[in-house]
Structure 1
C-alpha cells in the first residue's frame, strides 16, 4: 500500500469549522486537485482547522497560550505537513526577522507543500518557512535538519527547537511507532538541550480508539501532556473556560506535551513492539473527563 493512496481511497475536500480562519490557497477546488495528485496528503483533515484556531486566537483566550506575550525566537518543525495549511497559518503569525518553521512530509509530498506555501506567501512579509523531507522514523532526514539548525546563517545563533507541531497524524497503526520515534528524536539532543526546551503541540480527532489508544499509551511514557483549554470572549459575553474541541460533533483534542525528564536518559527500543508497549493511562483519564463534559 502506498501510504498516501490506501486501498479504496474515497475522500472529499473538507470545509473549515466556524471558528477556524479561512485560508484561500486551501479552498475546495485546490484540495480536490491535490487529493487527485497526492492522495490523503492533499486533503485538509479536521483537526488542522482546530489547530489553526489555536494558532490565530481571534476573540479567544487559550490556556496555555501557544506563545507567551514576550518570547525568544521560535524554531518549529511540523511533522506530516500535508497540504501545508497549518504551516501557512503559523507563518502568518511568525516574525520573519527571527522565527523559523520547517514544514516536513514524505519526499513525494514536498512538491505539494512547496506549491501551496509559495502561493500563500508570495505577496506577504511573513516568517521564513522551509520545506524539507522527513519521513517518520527516518533518522537521517532529521539529522539533515539538525545540520541546518546548527548553521548560524540559517538560525542566527539560536539552534534549538522550541516547538514540534502535529495535526491529525494518529491514524494508520503501522505508522504510529515511526511517528513516536520521530517525536522522541526531535525532542532529544542535539535538537534540544533540556527536556523543557521544546513543546509538542498535537491536534487529534478520534476515529478508531482501538487502533489509536496504543499510541497515546506509549506516548505518555515519554511525554507529559494536557489538553488546551479555551475561553471565547466578545463585548457582550465571556464563556466559561472549556476544552478546545469539546463543542465539536466528533471528539477532538489539542494536546500540549513536554518530554518527561526521566525519559531524557532512556534508550529508545529498536523494536517497534517494545517501543509501543503500553504503560501510561493519561489519555484514558482525559478521555473519561471529556465524556463527563458532554
Structure 2
C-alpha cells in the first residue's frame, strides 16, 4: 500500500500540512504515517540536567500523539484513511529522511511556515545539504492553503533535464493528483538561450505519454517572477520542480532567498529528485 509521510512538530504550519496530507491520503487511498521526532534532550528542565526515565517520557509522547491525531481526525471529519502514528527520538531532519527511506514512503508532506523544529531544520539554510540527499519527493504546503484549492492543473517548471529517480517517476503512476491532471511543462528561457522544441516534445512524450501534457515557453530572464505569474494566471493548484545539483535550478531553489519566497507562496510546491 502506498504511504504518505506526514512529519509534524505541532506548529501552526504543521497542522495545515497535516490536514492537507490526511485529506490527500484519504482521496488517494494511501496510508498516512504521522511522524513526530522528539529531541534527545526532551523532558529535561531548562538549564538543569536531572536523572529521569527517558523511555517513559518518550512513551508519554507516543500516547499524546495518538490522542492528538484521533481528536484531529474527528474534528476534521477524516475517518476513511489508514493512519499510523510514530514518535521517535533524534534529530528531526535526519530521522524524517531516514524513516522515509526505511519505510519506502512515496511522498513527504511538510508545512512551509512552521515555527518548530521541522521548518527550521528542513527548510532552513543549515539543512540544505541534508535536503539535497533526500530520495523521497517532498510536497511543501503554504500556510492557509486549503485542500479544496488543490485542482487538476499542474505547472512543472523545467529546463527539460528530466532525469528522475525511481520514486519521483513512480509518483506520476501512483497518484491521481498527477496522472489525472493536466500537466503544463513550463520552460523559462532568455533570448540568448536556444530552445529545442521538438526534442522537448519527444522527451516529454517518452516519459509521460499516457498523461495529458501541454508544453509552454516563457521568454524572460526572471525565473521566479515568471513562474509565479504563470501559476497565478493559469490558476494551477501545484508547482512541480526538479532541482539539479551543481545546476542553476538547484542553487536557485535551495538558496536562502528562494526558500524565503517559497515560504510565502500561495500554492503547494512538489520537489522531485534526480536519479
Q: Which of the two has higher C-alpha Rg?
A: 2
Relative to the length of structure 2, the TM-score reads 0.36
Q: Which has the higher contact order (CA 8 A, sep 6+)?
A: 2
